[in-house]
Structure 1
């Protein structure tokens, strides 16, 4: 089996490990929940949900993980800060271990989530999604001030989708007006567990 010559980093999320040599650890899946028009969301602004159905979905994820041996995180999606609070409280109320991604198309909501997980003492389980070329100064500041130490770092370069172009956005910047590379921004934000998203282009 192919192996990297360079020593590979492994990040541990309460026993779920990412990284290492190919095949060293199983691929970790991210189960999305509370996305746009998800039927279990009763009010996307306040974060009111059908808790019974939501918990059943999460239990099903755990069952499938036990059957397949494939570990998973949960990807919490929200467009409002209040909703993030509700969703995070719900999840941490039924699971005290699994890491969760915080994802939003609204920068202010994502910044609020960083502050909230820090105040709630669960920032060690939170994964910011994502540090990319369009990250705002406000979100960089919010992430830096928070206790969040993990983030998806996106290697998306719309001007050059080649491997070299993706590497450039990570180490040199120059995308969407960002002077710094994404990895340097992550370091500036206090991210010690960066998770690289290679921004693979979906075909078909």
Structure 2
């Protein structure tokens, strides 16, 4: 039985297909058939008109943002609606979003297989990603924790890298919430408590899955203003 929250992502490659609905109805039916019979909530459906060769797809970016905010699973009709590019699928996995393909529910296992194939190349990228995380955190003025001079050299570097990654994730989380907070403010939520109540009402929780408080909202706003 299918349970949980889902965000549906449908994609066609041409504007003509998008205007006519050609292909969209078949995708929509596949998603609905997959979800049929379970206890689930469809947060929203997003439709993209874009070539699968491109990775910069705004609707998919929005879908991933909503999945993170609602702790939802991205559901697609066919695996190739995302991309045939293994690197792109790996990037989707890094985004921290669960996804499932209606035509291949075991797709998550296949992605793990893809990751194994590129593991050797991935190891070479670890150092570059760590340096990028440290640089990004430094540019944002993030303090990477307390002094590490008492730790062995390698342990100190690992602690800094871990702190940098956490800082970048927190900043990304704040960016995901920016649109909702702006809409709440435009709707009259002028205090931290009102914004917190508005986020709760939208079914959004903090990164730890708890209800919003004024203090938690204040931390998010501080990150957005940084």
Q: Same fold (TM over 0.5)?
A: no
TM-score (norm: length of structure 2)? 0.27
Task: Considering Cα pairs closer than 8 Å and 6+ residues apart, tell me whether 1 or 2 has the greater RCO.
Answer: 2
Structure possessing the higher radius of gyration over alpha carbons? 2
Judging by fraction of residues, say which structure has more strand: 1
Judging by fraction of residues, say which structure has more helix: 2
